[in-house]
A and B are shown apart, each in its own frame.
Chain A
Amino acid sequence: MNVDLTVVWAFLIAFAVFAYVVLDGFDLGLGMLFAVAPERRDRDVMMNSVAPVWDGNETWLVLGGGGLFAAFPLAYALVLPALYAPIIAMLLALIFRGVAFEFRWRTERWRGVWDFAFISGSAMASFAQGVALGALLQGIEVDMTARSYAGGWFDWLTPFSIVTGIAVMAGYCLLGATWLVMKTEGDLQDRMRRLAWPFGLATLGFIGIVSLWTPFLQDGYYNRWFTGWGLALAVGVGAAVLLVAWGMFTSLTVHRHEYRPFLQAIALFALCFVGLGIAMWPYVVPVEVTIWDAAAPEKSQVFMLIGAVVLIPLILGYTAYAYWIFRGKIDPDAGYH
């Protein structure tokens, strides 16, 4: 067979992670934005704008993890212990915020508590995901003869990973704010439109900082970014980021578009993802283990690919259908609660 299945799987998992980042990204961002919307009614509207779909959004995280386990079991076994603390923190945070979707409707007295759980859980999960990304990017110490993680328990904690953690929080808030511009009306929409600006600027700033910092983490990255085609790509992606950002800010303020800023924010994330991919390729654990080192045997890859080819389009189809059903502005009185 001419197609390298390992590459196919690398792209599929990257896609799953990207889908997760965008989809759960906006609802995690929305969770953090709860903090700046203290009004009861606003919070109800905000939560109802994602209540029917958040569960599907979060499932992409399971596919990202499960896919890595299935297609690159060695990488899964190396990365997860290395990121032990941020991953446990993320899981605990996701518990709090996930149950808040149901619990806050079930109690009058404790609603404030579950709102706080929603805000802090969303913030903590976002931060932990950013830290995990940073920690992965800066490299993980492995012992390839023992096929196991060989670093310490706090290797993930560096200035760089803290910055990527905050960067992801800012980016998710941008996604959340632009989502709400699309889904809400009136005063709440205006406030989100205004908030999208600082979060947009912060996101842009962090993209710049992380992009400039990354090449100096590892020689491999430096050579990738600053030599030959890498340089051209880097310049190209950078220019595209600025262009998209310009478009987003004008559609927010000048044209006062409702849905475009959200799509442009997603495009911004997509470009960051491309940049990350260029930097990391072909490593799955930078810069120790390539995707081919970690790949599951071909038989497993083929067996899973059959399902993926059939099911992923189906999933995208009914996910889109679910979003379509709940399209339009949120009726403040809707919901089953």
Chain B
Amino acid sequence: MFDHADAVLLARIQFAFTVSFHFLFPAFSIGLASYLAVLNGLWLAGYGQVYRVLFDYWKKIFALVFAMGVVSGIVMSYQFGTNWSVFSDKAGPVIGAPMAYEVLSAFFLEAGFLGIMLFGRERVGNALHMVATAVVAVGTLLSAFWILSVNSWMHTPAGFTIDAVTGQFLPTNFWESIFNPSFPYRLAHTVTAAYLTTAFIVGGVGAWHLLRRTAGDNPGARRMFSMAMWMAAFVAPIQVFIGDLHGLNTMEHQPQKVMAMEGHYESHPEGWAPLYLFGIPNDAEQRLDYAFGIPGASSLILGHSLSAPLAGLDTIPDDEQPPVAIVFWSFRIMVGLGLLMVAVGIWSLFARWRGTLYTSRPLHRFAVAMGPSGLVAVLAGWVTTEVGRQPYTIWGLLRTADSAAPLDASAVGASLIAFVVVYFIVFGAGTFYVLRLMAKAPFTGGPDDWETRAPIRTAGIAPGPAQGTPTEHGPKIEEETR
């Protein structure tokens, strides 16, 4: 009834679906974990009660996001075996070890100290609680380190030989396979993306509450908006720079991916390759329809000279070309959002200089609209790099079609439907709860609210005087459930 190609396609859809959902959670929680550590640290260092309020505010959101990240991540760790067993058998000797290191060095660390961070302040005191918060943040970064190492290895494999009999990849040098050629760029690009994702969510929430209040008198909202805008102003331009380096690295190791990103079906042996701003990729005719571009700009960016020759997809056999349209468009979404992030940052600097950071409603509206931009950009970037790797799972060495388990299409199809249904129910509800927490302003309550947030025990570090007094008595969105 079904053939292997159907099963592989369904397995690919399943993997893309589950990993896309999963990726959103760490993209947010990596940045949020560091943000929480900063907030807790600033509060402990005596910079004001507002940081403690923000810590407690974002802690609840973090717990929800983290829980969703954990359960969707467990799915990923088993899907390698269920749906991609040939890949697992062949690549396991090389990438199994870094994945095991991820569990041993990162997952346990996060999971072990998360409980202390969420529930333990009163039991361990502020100092140890700070340690736990910092450890959770470090754990999320270590996790990113290992998983991106594995992912990068699939793009730029190194440090292995291939067993002639079993077809397994055998390690020759783990140092080389972990620090493979694209890893430093991918790690920097992705972690920075996670920080920006969090910054724009935090900034969007802050701006939302500033918009809802007259004159922006909510100290919590002001502080988070301000912190997020500093991040946007400084980190978004850095990200553009890192992204450019990452692109040049991809050009070196996976040129056809870059050709697809840029829409270069044709070669430009004389240089003057245009930077296409718009066009509709046409794989069948191998050309970019309705192309509109800046002459020479692509040669300048990728070759650092207007006359730098650039090869196009016409130099690549058809069966080794990635699907151009998806890569072309997802790349434009990512870059477009990245440039808008830079624009927000510049605007915020201007507003800060003018003294209108907390009053500029157009800026706040823009920031709210940009709230989810990091999540979208992260997904678009992931699609660019992963679809750009096709038709290979391990670049140049193992094809996707040869990686899948000996699957029955009906089995994969059934599990795919189950995943889709469950994910939309569970993560739909989770998103709703996260948004509801975000809709509630920090400092909602009266004096009562204030007292319950006061530190129980300060472990020798006296909290500083409250900078922002809870002046606002906005309507509670919903009573806490307990």
Contacts and interface: CB of A to CB of B under 8 A. Distances in A.
A66 B108 contact: no
A183 to B, nearest CB: 14
Interface in A90-118: 91-92, 94-96, 98-99, 101-103, 105-108, 110-111
A278 B331 CA distance: 55
Nearest to B135: A318
Nearest to B433: A106
Contact of B99 (A53, A69, A325): A69
A307 B105 contact: yes
Given A76-B85, A81-B406, A107-B481, A94 B74 contact: yes
Chain A interface, DSSP helix/strand/loop, else mixed: helix
Interface in A297-337: 297, 299-300, 303-304, 307-308, 311-312, 315, 318-319, 322, 325-326, 334-337
Interface string B390-416: 000000000000000111101100010
A226 to B, nearest CB: 34
Interface stretch (B87-95, B292-300, B380-388): B87-95
B436 A106 contact: yes
Interface stretch (B112-120, B211-219, B278-286, B371-379): B112-120
A322 B482 contact: no
A181 interface: no
B277 interface: no
Contact of B74 (A79, A91, A96): A91
A316 B124 CA distance: 19
A74 B168 CA distance: 10
A58 B174 CA distance: 28
A105 B481 contact: yes
Given A80-B82, A98-B67, A153-B411, A88 B120 contact: no
B405 A148 contact: yes
B86 A99 contact: no
A336 B458 CA distance: 18
Contact of A78 (B85, B410, B411): B85
A56 interface: yes
B24 to A, nearest CB: 14
Contacts of B112: 56, 315, 318-319, 322
B101 interface: yes
Contacts of B101: 304, 307
Q: On chain B, which size bracket covers the interface?
A: 35 or more
Interface stretch (B194-202, B262-270, B341-349, B422-430): B422-430
A231 interface: no
A171 B80 CA distance: 29
Contacts of B80: 69, 76
A315 B108 contact: yes
Contact of A92 (B124, B166, B418, B482): B418
A300 B96 contact: yes
Contacts of A326: 115, 119-120, 123
Nearest to B172: A299
B63 interface: yes
B88 A56 contact: no
A81 B81 contact: yes
B165 to A, nearest CB: 10
Given A81-B406, A94-B74, A98-B71, A318 B113 contact: yes
B131 to A, nearest CB: 11
B64 interface: yes
B18 to A, nearest CB: 9
B433 A107 contact: yes
B104 interface: yes
A67 interface: yes
A156 to B, nearest CB: 12
Given A307-B100, A315-B112, A62 B77 contact: yes
A149 interface: yes
A315 B120 CA distance: 18
A65 interface: yes
A88 B417 CA distance: 12
A292 B148 CA distance: 30
Interface of B: 59-60, 63-64, 67-68, 70-75, 77-78, 80-82, 85-86, 88-94, 96-97, 99-105, 107-116, 118-120, 123-124, 166, 168, 170-172, 174, 405-408, 410-411, 415, 418-419, 422-423, 426, 429-430, 433, 436-437, 478-482
Given A69-B96, A105-B482, 9 more contacts: A51-B115, A73-B168, A77-B85, A108-B478, A148-B86, A153-B408, A307-B101, A322-B112, A322-B113
Interface of A: 44, 51-53, 55-56, 58-59, 61-63, 65-67, 69-71, 73-74, 76-81, 84-85, 87-88, 91-92, 94-96, 98-99, 101-103, 105-108, 110-111, 146-150, 153, 296-297, 299-300, 303-304, 307-308, 311-312, 315, 318-319, 322, 325-326, 334-337
